[in-house]
Amino acid sequence: MRAIRSAVAALAAIAIAGSAATATAQTFEESYPETPATNSDLPIIHTYRGSDHLKANILNPRPVCNSTEDYRTVVYKVKDNFLPVGTISTTNLSDNTIPLKQDLSRTQTIEASVNGSKTETLTLGGSGSKDGMQGNIGYSIAKSLGWDVSGSLSWSVGQSIGPYDVPAGNTGEATYGFRTVTMTGTQQRCRPNGTWATPTAWVANMPVKNEVRVKNYSTPAGSWAPNKGAQVTTPVENPNPAYNEDVEKIETGANLDDVTKVDDEAAANVTNDDITDEGTAVIDEVEETNTDEITEVIDDQEGVVRDLDLQPYFTTSTWKASGFAGSVALRVKNVGDKRYWGEFPAVTFRVEVETFAGPEGVDRLITTTKYNGTHVRDLGYDFDRGVRTFEVTMSNPVNSGDDMLLAAFSFGDGKTKEGRLHNTMKVTQTGRLAGDTSAYNDQEVSSLDATVSDFGRQVRGTF
């Protein structure tokens, strides 16, 4: 009995200490989301056509754009921002609430900009451009997304900020600025052969409205905390009443029979012996049936020639040794009967670089090179899964029976102080044209099964 009382008392002390520790407020904030969240509404593709029809040329009988006339903008990321330009502040040392108010003494202006440059701005009636790329397309896209954007916005001299009530003993701050929407993507010009050129970075910053953000705080820490209410933690006095009652009974020497206990008949005692041989046989039969059905479906699909069908695979040099520096190319082959191309939806692939051997949770330097109008986005590294993800967007057609080089992934040396890092790759087609139902040969295609050398010989797909 004494041992039980001592053990329960120790547990109670730990519980009390734990509840006291939660009273210490801690603030943790990360403001650098490395991997952008996927958005089903993106990418947005806007193509500007200088003529009402495509013109064949001697270099390409089937062009997808008109050289020197057409360009297209693809938006991969849209972000809502607050751009501060000034702050007014007051500390209320009185016993009453006072107003926070100020008339501005200078004018602050923001204009729509393209390519991230404040010197290349546009107005409602004009356009800004760089290297032949039109900037006013950003205004059109922002309007189509539902924002009431403007060519420029201003805070003028004499304009009032406030009044906002500041409680006694608090400091009040009002930060005024502009709410903007930033669109990040690429623009492409049309090459002389009537295909889209390599994408170049494109950024458009569009002002939406004037905005003021107000906060009151009583301590200096409160001025920084993004959510002051979340920083206050109240300890729970009695998180488990039944448990606390049992502790009290034991500590006061009560009979153990008075302690709440689980009914033995109501408790479940499940062991491996409960799984009978008959149940195991049923499970095995189901697994064999499912495997046979999946194999049959794959065999049937492989024997069908479709109109639209892309098959991705990897190529690498014969001298590329696993775990050492070198490049791996992502290619697609059109195994369908028709040319594979469409302006929308975007044809995209997800490429995942996984750890095959070596230290877990260690990233590896990988740089990318784009080919044939392809755009490659690095979506970041997932430390829990040990996977770096890329998004590859194809923008030019592939004729039936042809191969197209989309991108190259250049691996740095995998040697680390924790051991040499070896990786594999996996590609999945995530965006496809209507009518492309060939999911059997483009989903999670592993480099272990689909890597060949520059001479077409099957090689082990570890890098």
Q: Of 162, 195, 227, at which residue does a domain stop?
A: 227
399 shares its domain with 295 = no
The region that residue 287 occupies, defined by phi over 0 for left and psi between -120 and 50 for alpha, beta otherwise, is alpha
203 shares its domain with 277 = no
Contact by Cβ (8 Å): 134, 127: yes
Query: Tokens in use for 209?
Result: 């409205």
191 shares its domain with 281 = no
Other CB atoms within 10 A of residue 403 CB: 14
pLDDT at 127 over 60: no
pLDDT at 230 over 70: no
Residue pLDDT, tens place only, 155-173:
998 888 889 999 998 999 9
Q: Is 463 inside any structural domain?
A: no
Q: Is 206 inside any structural domain?
A: yes
432 shares its domain with 288 = no
User: DSSP class of residue 60?
Assistant: B
DSSP 154-169: EEPTT-EEEEEEE-TT
Q: Which helix (H) or strand (E) holds 330?
A: strand 326-334
Q: Is 32 inside any structural domain?
A: no
Average pLDDT of the chain is 75
Helix, strand, coil distribution of the chain in percent, nearest 5: 20, 40, 45
Q: Which helix (H) or strand (E) holds 18?
A: helix 2-21
pLDDT at 246 over 90: no
CATH code, domain carrying 437: 2.60.40
Residue 72 has a pLDDT of: 86
pLDDT at 248 over 70: no
What's the distance, CA 208 to chain centroid? 24
Q: What's the CA gap between 417 and 98, in Å, rounded?
A: 61
Q: Tokens 């458009």, residue?
A: 204
DSSP 263-282: -TTTS----GGGS-HHHHHH
Q: Is 30 inside any structural domain?
A: no
Percent of the chain with pLDDT over 90: 25
Residue pLDDT, tens place only, 22-33:
444 444 544 444
Residue pLDDT, tens place only, 17-71:
444 444 444 445 444 444 445 566 778 888 888 888 888 888 888 898 888 888 8
As for how many domains the chain has, the answer is 3
Q: Is 240 inside any structural domain?
A: no
Is pLDDT larger for residue 385 or for residue 276? 385
330 shares its domain with 420 = yes
What's the distance, CA 47 to chain centroid? 25
Q: What's the CA gap between 345 and 42, in Å, rounded?
A: 10
208 shares its domain with 284 = no
Contact by Cβ (8 Å): 391, 376: yes
pLDDT at 403 over 90: yes
What's the distance, CA 123 to chain centroid? 32
Q: Tokens 């799984």, residue?
A: 275
How far apart are the two ends of the chain, measured CA to CA in Å?
63
106 shares its domain with 203 = yes
Q: What's the predicted TM-score (pTM) here? A: 0.68
Rounded mean pLDDT of 365-378? 92
Q: What's the CA gap between 441 and 430, in Å, rounded?
A: 12
Q: Of 160, 195, 227, at which residue does a domain stop?
A: 227
Q: Is 64 inside any structural domain?
A: yes
Query: Tokens in use for 413?
Result: 């040396």
What's the distance, CA 40 to chain centroid? 11
371 shares its domain with 407 = yes
**Which residue range is the domain that position 432 belongs to?**
310-453
400 shares its domain with 278 = no
Q: Of 167, 202, 227, at which residue does a domain stop?
A: 227
192 shares its domain with 128 = yes
CB neighbours of 405 closer than 8 A, spacing ≥ 6?
329, 330, 331, 371, 372
Query: Tokens in use for 380?
Result: 């970041």
Confidence band (pLDDT; 50, 70, 90) for 350?
Answer: very high
Contacts 24+ apart (CB under 8 A), 159-164: 159/103, 159/104, 160/101, 160/102, 160/103, 160/104, 161/88, 161/101, 161/102, 161/103, 161/104, 161/212, 162/88, 162/99, 162/100, 162/101, 162/102, 163/99, 163/100, 163/101, 164/99, 164/100, 164/101, 164/214
DSSP 353-406: EEEEESSTT----EEEEE-TT-EEEEEEEETTTTEEEEEEEE-S-B-TT-EEEE
319 shares its domain with 217 = no
116 shares its domain with 75 = yes
Confidence band (pLDDT; 50, 70, 90) for 249?
Answer: very low
Rounded mean pLDDT of 358-367? 90
Rounded mean pLDDT of 352-379? 92
Q: Is 7 inside any structural domain?
A: no
Q: Is 92 inside any structural domain?
A: yes
DSSP 359-372: STT----EEEEE-T
